[in-house]
A = this chain, B = another copy of it.
């Protein structure tokens, strides 16, 4: 069970790390963090470096491809070598998945045309520019093994569903227990539909 997670400068770390902490527990899981070149890649905020141990050239097949988002994913939509690699990997996968604006990379690679998909709430128009139909659901499963998740933290929910599909419900429930994922957010501001105008204005006006 080979799970491949691409990294790039400007990745949102939680997009990758949330699902990683679930999928790494799959039976005989081998997780590979890959990038254009091996080495440390800085996240979107710049304070955290994540290590890719393999290069895209060396990773030619996967059971699960999980594409994270972030500012680097938005920039990556014109990175033809990256998009080619995603297309080639996808031809080998059982599951091709994205978190947050990772869906833009799947879209730019031509994998979402005519499909229903999700992404971060701020990237809806971009997603639809690749021929996808956006839906404000948290995890969207489509034929061909394509699963997209909404913004950042939604990758944890997606990974639990994916774990169920791969290893069954008891295993997935065990992984949920292992990461003590019994979420109790102190507010109810986690979606664009629920957040207040004040919270949206605060976010829009951050330096």
Contacts and interface: CB of A to CB of B under 8 A. Distances in A.
Interface of A: 12-14, 17-18, 20-21, 24-25, 30-33, 40, 45, 47-51, 53, 100, 120-121, 138-139, 150-154, 156-157, 160-161, 164, 169-174, 176-192, 194-196, 198-200, 202-203, 206
A156 B153 CA distance: 9
13 contacts: A17-B17, A17-B48, A31-B48, A48-B51, A100-B180, A121-B177, A154-B182, A157-B184, A170-B196, A171-B202, A174-B200, A176-B199, A180-B190
Contact of A18 (B18, B45, B198): B18
A110 to B, nearest CB: 25
A199 B53 CA distance: 32
Copies of the protein in its oligomer: 2
Contact of A195 (B45, B121, B173): B173
Q: Find the residue from A150, A151, A203 having the highest chain B CB count within 10 A.
A: A203
B190 A182 contact: yes
Contact of A187 (B20, B25, B176): B176
A81 to B, nearest CB: 23
A139 to B, nearest CB: 8
